[in-house]
Amino acid sequence: MNSSMLLSITTFVYAFASVLYIGSWAFKKGFMAKLGMIVLIAGVAGNTAGILLRWVESYQMGYGHAPFSNMYESLVFFSWTVAVLYIFVEYKYRERIIGVFTTPLIFLAIAYASLSPNVADKITPLIPALKSNWLIAHVITCFLGYAGFAVAFGFSIMYLIRPEKSDKESFLSKLPSLGMVDELTHQMVIFGFLFLTIGIITGAVWANSAWGTYWSWDPKETWSLITWFIYAIMLHLRTMRGWHGKKIAWVSIIGFMAVLFTYFGVNLLPGLHSYA
Amino acid sequence: MAKKKLNHGNPIWNFFTSVQLTVVVLLLLAATSIIGTLIPQNASSLFYFKKYGEVFYKLFTALNIFDMYHSWWFLLLLGLLAVNLIVCSIDRLESTWKIIFPEKVVFNLERYKKIKKKEEFVSKETSDELKEKYKLFIEKKFAKVIEKETENGFALFAEKGRWTRAGVYIVHLSVILLLAGAVIGGVWGFKGFVKIPEGESVDAFETRKNNSIIKLGFTIKCNKFDVSFYDTGQPDEYKSNITIFENGKETLTTDIIVNDPLRYKGISFYQSNYGTASAKEVSLIITSNESNMVYTETLSQGMTIDLPEAGGKFILDGFVQGYDFRGHNLGESFVGRLIDNSSKELSVVMPVKFPTFDKMRRGAFSFEIEKFEKRYYTGLQVTKDPGVWYVYTGFIFMIIGCWITFFMSHQSICVEVKKIEKGSSVMVAGFAHRNRQSMKIKTAGLAEKMKGI
Ligand code: HEM
């Protein structure tokens, strides 16, 4: 069993968890979400083991670096952070079913890593510039930030397409109130904003220690800043202009589009940051 | 920050205090920033001309699109953000100050009673019994407890975290620090690049912005450059060993590797790239086409040798990274000159990868390279950025400020106990200036514990 195989299996476990969450939403069955959570936790266990195993494998191959250095590894880590953050939220706020639009993201990211021919799962040595502890701090914090925004995105979608009141009352009573979803979105954005901020900062400090400039306006940097601006705007709209509910949900969706572009789209643009 | 705004009645002032302006400026910054990620920045004019054609080339040049992050209009937006932020902060500072440092803290029981989500329960104990217990309990979780007698019982108040209202100011101050650091670095800093061949020294370098020459004030010598590779052929590590001289005296010898720059007298040197500067100990195979004899010679660049069989002289002029032969790149090559006995000069090209190349010249001698030692140059990025400490301070403030604003708040709590038949009725209500949701949870938790004591 190597890490790639373990992670492929994890992909299917996550797929199953998403099916359960979506099923609980579509068929209005609360127990499916309950089961979904258990499957999701199993997925996280596999995901964690996969990441650790890959780390060990990299040492066995003599390269010895943390598994956060290319697209494949970053996608796997993205799934992990979103899953862990989501489990934490479900546990803390004691709300089920809210994972209906979040779990598919967890599945899609790792599925893209495992199945897409564009994403190589080979373990390769690090180029000199990437050999830095700042890299680890940078990747982890950025991805915690992305995870926060991803979960917020899931909640925003949920806010916008809640079933109408006329549906089965028993199921509706299991759903969190709109106010709660709004609050949860906000909490996730705050979390994401803090970690994106730290992510950009650790990236800047790293760039300064490796190349002598903390900011060089390369497309990836610029897009992370654009994302940061969007969420900063969102925070001001909420605190100072009283934006709530639907409007905030839309801004959160736009923000997440910027996250996706920072993550994937930038590789299509000219620039330096071609890794992760 | 405080709700009440001081109205200065000055329209310009009011314009700059508005958060609407902030939203517009941040939106414009985000939107325009996209342009520079679609159009490559700071490339050559020729590249742009070819890519966009004359009309767009002229238009983009006029708008500074090719270096947009330093264009007047982008800097203007950043300036606007800074003014907005400073004016807005000054505008609100006074009222926030009064909240953080009040002359006297007053609690209003009615205000807590109006809170929707409050906890209420009944205790068997008398209000006098509860008073001491609750006071101790609240004191532990908050600060000093203020006590008020009411008609048929008492109320306790306590609070903490007034200072957390300053958190937003710390965030905004950090933005100012970042902008200030960027300006200081832009005005008083520089950025450039030097190539130092092994064994040679430099005391000046060329800046990237306008190619002017800046004196370092000391001399930096590259003793040795090393590059190591993985089995896969990918580079593992680049390392330059350098020595610094001041007034001819050696002051420091050290290694510079990627991610570990040298900082000396406010100037930083980063390992940036490397290449082959020249060659030493070049072994030359010389074949005489008349006698078919083969001779070998070892020489260094610039050296002249007498050819065997009294064939004249040969000068090894130099080393070329990629020799261009009728549009073909022959790769690493040596060039030299052959001077025959009638003083006629012939140029000789000796590509390392094509040893028989010089045979095609059909001269009296043909030359090929057997082996040689490379002499590397190290490419160092040279920077000085006196603004970096402002930026780093800004980073720290930003993180601390965000932490305070996001996860902490000015919280207060009120416990009202009323005498009833056979015991007391208790109300617990909490208030926070932000994160109300978590305050609700906290209040419920406190009430739960108070039921137990
Ligand atoms: C890039 C620039 C800026 C950043 C990163 C930033 C960041 C923040 C953050 C994180 C908050 C807390 C949001 C929340 O309550 O959840 C905040 C609040 C606020 N910001 Fe900014 N801000 C920026 C620019 C500005 C500017 C230019 C103004 C000028 C009007 C401004 C005015 C305010 C105000 C009035 C608040 C509300 C304070 C309160 O909670 O009472 N901000 N800002």
Q: How much is the ipTM here?
A: 0.90
- How many residues would you count in chain B? 453
Radius of gyration of chain A (CA): 19
Neighbours of A162 (CB within 10 A): 16
Question: At A127, is the secondary structure helix, strand, or coil?
Answer: coil
Indicate if ligand 1 lies below 6 Å from the C-beta of B315. Answer: no
The residues with which B375 forms a beta bridge, in sequence order, are: B278
Q: How far is the C-alpha of A152 from the C-alpha of A195, rounded, in Å?
A: 14
Q: Which two tokens stand for residue A129?
A: 């510039």
A212 confidence band (pLDDT: 50, 70, 90): confident
Whose tokens are 């420091």? That residue is B252
Q: Residues B304-333: pLDDT tens digits?
A: 999 888 888 999 988 887 888 888 888 888
**Range scoring the smallest mean pLDDT among A134-143, A220-229, B51-60, B435-444:** B435-444
Which residue puts its alpha carbon closest to atom 23 of ligand 1?
Answer: B172
Q: What is the pLDDT of residue A168?
A: 57
Rounded-to-integer distance, Cα B39 and Cα B97, Å: 47
Q: What is the pLDDT of residues A12-29, one digit of tens each?
A: 999 999 999 988 888 877
Closest approach of A209 to chain B, Cα-based (Å)? 6
- How many C-beta atoms lie closer than 10 Å to residue B94's C-beta? 11
**Which of A129-138, A167-176, B241-250, B392-401 has the weakest average pLDDT?**
A167-176
Between chains, do B34 and A226 touch, taking CB under 8 Å as contact? yes
Q: How close, in Å, is residue A14 to chain B by CA atoms?
A: 31
Determine contact: A268 vs chain B, CB below 8 A: no
Q: If you average pLDDT over residues B90-103, what whole number do you get?
A: 89
Nearest chain B residue to A207 by CA: give it.
B259
Write down how long chain A is: 276
Which chain A positions have a beta carbon within 8 Å of B392's beta carbon? 205
Q: Hey, which residues does B374 pair with through a beta bridge?
A: B279
Atom of ligand 1 nearest to the CA of B16: 30
User: What per-residue confidence (pLDDT) applies to B395?
Assistant: 97
Please give the average per-residue pLDDT across B169-175, as a whole number. 96
Q: Which residues sit opposite B274 in a β-bridge?
A: B378
Nearest-by-Cβ selection for A197 from B33, B238, B402: B402
Partner residue opposite B237 with nearest CB, options A128, A236, A269: A128
User: What tens digit of pLDDT does each residue of B353-412 get?
Assistant: 898 899 888 888 999 998 888 888 888 889 899 999 999 999 999 999 999 999 999 998
- E strand segments, B230-364: 235-246, 249-257, 262-264, 267-288, 294-299, 304-306, 313-320, 324-325, 328-329, 333-339, 345-351
Torsion-angle region of B418 (φ positive above 0: left; ψ -120 to 50: alpha; else: beta): beta
Chain B residue nearest residue A214, CA to CA: B388
Atom of ligand 1 nearest to the CA of B398: 5
Q: Is B361 on the interface with A (CB under 8 A)?
A: no
Q: Which of B336, B332, B338 is nearest to B375 (CA)?
A: B332
Cα–Cα separations (whole angstroms), residue B288 to B307, B347, B366: 10, 17, 7
Q: How far is CA A168 from CA A30, A36, B67, B68, in A?
A: 12, 21, 59, 56
Q: How far does A60 lie from chain B, in Å, by closest CA?
A: 14
CB B281 within 8 A of CB B298: yes
Q: Which residues on B lie below 8 Å from A226 (Cβ)?
A: 30, 33-34
Q: What is the arithmetic mean of pLDDT over B250-261?
A: 87
